[in-house]
């Protein structure tokens, strides 16, 4: 195991231990929520390889521990934010985590206070300095670039403007298998710039950090929340979970590699 892998493993271990300690605090102060009419279906969060569960999964279990509403955890495999939104809209689940607010979602969902934020960053190869001259979205420099954007998720108005304005870039494609796939496409000269979160950059390998430079002027930010079915999850329950989130933020800060809201 190299130094970078050890650092990632120690960082993840610290995150999980922090949430576990937070959970012990919560057990001494259980949620007092009104009884829900029916059990709430809550999505589980396995990792992409299917051999374990993510930090979000542990976080949800701690936040919902001892809730007076009955909780059914649903293990439906690895999910993108688009699939989570659809499952909430279809009534397959009642609570999910890791979603950002936007006008479309707020029509059918209620949201917790912010757990943290995804600080979005644009990346280019170090030796491709022409892309580092970007000054604002959709400027003349960006108009000549081939962009790669994450296939799923809402990351704030800057990225949404780019997604919906064809003149913003020479071409816009989505990547679906994570930022490492996007980095490979840059290395093969199939794209010029890609977008990923700061939390990925903090965990990136030494090779990735040697190859890439973040384009700081193009940062975009969106907050991350628990999302609730608007018709089935009582307001009092949401309020009490918000109080738990506030305790978490005071005790350990933003969980699961998120940035400060």
Question: Is 77 contained in some domain?
Answer: yes
How much of the chain exceeds pLDDT 70, in percent? 84
> HEC states along the chain?
CCHHHHHHHHHHHHHHHHHHHHHHHHHCCCCCCCCCCCCEEEECCECCCCCCECHHHHHHHHHCCCCCCCEEEECCCCCCHHHHHHHHHHCCCCEEEEECCCHHHHCCEEECCCCEEEEEEEEEECCCHHHHHCCCCCCHHHHCCEEEEECCCCCCHHHHHHHHCHHHCCEEEEECCCHHHHHHHHHCCCCCEEEEEHHHHHHCCHHHHHHEEEEEEEEEEEEEEEEEECCCCCHHHHHHHHHHHHHHHHHHCCCCCCECC
CATH number at residue 149: 3.40.190.10
For residue 28, pLDDT beyond 50: no
Q: Structural domain of residue 123, as residue ranges?
A: 118-222
Residue 8 lies in a domain: yes
10 with 105, same domain? yes
Q: Could you tell me if 105 and 134 lie in one domain?
A: no
Q: Summarize the confidence of residues 85-98 as an average pLDDT.
A: 92
Residues 50 and 104 in one domain: yes
Greater confidence (90 vs 177) lies with 90
Q: Looking at residue 21, what is its pLDDT?
A: 56
In a domain, 88, yes or no: yes
Share of the chain above pLDDT 90, in %: 40
| Residue 260 placed within a domain | no
**148 Cβ partners below 8 Å, 6+ apart?**
173, 174, 175, 182, 185, 186, 191, 193, 194, 195
Identify whether residues 130 and 170 lie together within a single domain. yes
Question: Is residue 171 in some structural domain?
Answer: yes
Residue 187 pLDDT level (bands cut at 50, 70, 90): very high
Are 102 and 135 contained in the same domain? no
pTM check: above 0.95:
no
62 in any annotated domain: yes
For the segment 147-184, what is each residue's pLDDT rounded down to a tens digit?
998 876 667 778 888 888 889 999 999 887 788 899 99
Residue 199's pLDDT is: 74
Indicate whether 40 and 92 sit together in one domain. yes
The mean-pLDDT minimum among 26-35, 72-81, 232-241 falls in: 26-35
Q: Which pLDDT does position 18 carry in this prediction?
A: 58
Domain count, the chain: 2
**Model confidence over 32-84: pLDDT tens digits?**
444 688 899 999 988 767 788 888 888 999 999 877 788 999 998 888 777 88
User: For residue range 7-23, what is the model confidence (pLDDT) as tens digits?
Assistant: 445 455 555 555 655 55
Whether 229 and 112 share a structural domain: yes
Residue 116 in contact with residue 125, Cβ under 8 Å? no
Rounded to whole angstroms, the Cα distance separating 54 from 52 reads: 7
Looking at the fold, whether 218 and 228 belong to one and the same domain comes out as no
């Amino acid at each position: 195991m190299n130094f970078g892998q050890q650092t990632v493993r120690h960082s993840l271990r610290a995150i999980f231990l922090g949430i576990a300690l937070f959970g012990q605090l919560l057990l001494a102060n259980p949620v007092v929520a009104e009884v829900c009419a029916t059990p709430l279906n809550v999505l589980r969060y396995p990792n992409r390889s299917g051999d374990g569960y993510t930090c979000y999964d542990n976080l949800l279990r701690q936040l919902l521990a001892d809730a007076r509403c009955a909780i059914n955890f649903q293990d439906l495999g690895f999910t993108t934010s688009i699939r989570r939104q659809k499952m909430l809209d279809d009534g397959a689940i009642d609570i999910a985590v890791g979603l950002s607010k936007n006008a479309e979602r707020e029509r059918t969902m209620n949201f917790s206070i912010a757990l943290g934020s995804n600080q979005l960053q644009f990346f280019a190869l170090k030796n491709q300095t022409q892309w580092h001259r970007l000054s604002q979205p959709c400027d003349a420099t960006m108009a000549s670039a081939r962009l790669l954007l994450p296939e799923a998720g809402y990351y704030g108005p800057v990225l949404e403007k780019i997604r919906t304005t064809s003149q913003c870039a020479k071409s816009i494609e989505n990547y679906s298998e994570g930022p490492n796939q996007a980095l490979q496409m840059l290395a093969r000269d199939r794209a010029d710039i890609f977008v990923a979160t700061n939390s990925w950059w903090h965990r990136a390998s030494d090779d990735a950090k040697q190859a890439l430079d973040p384009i700081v002027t193009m940062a975009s930010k969106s907050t991350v929340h628990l999302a609730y079915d608007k018709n089935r999850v009582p307001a009092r329950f949401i309020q009490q979970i918000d109080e738990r989130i506030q305790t978490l933020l005071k005790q350990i800060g933003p969980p699961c590699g998120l940035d400060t809201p």
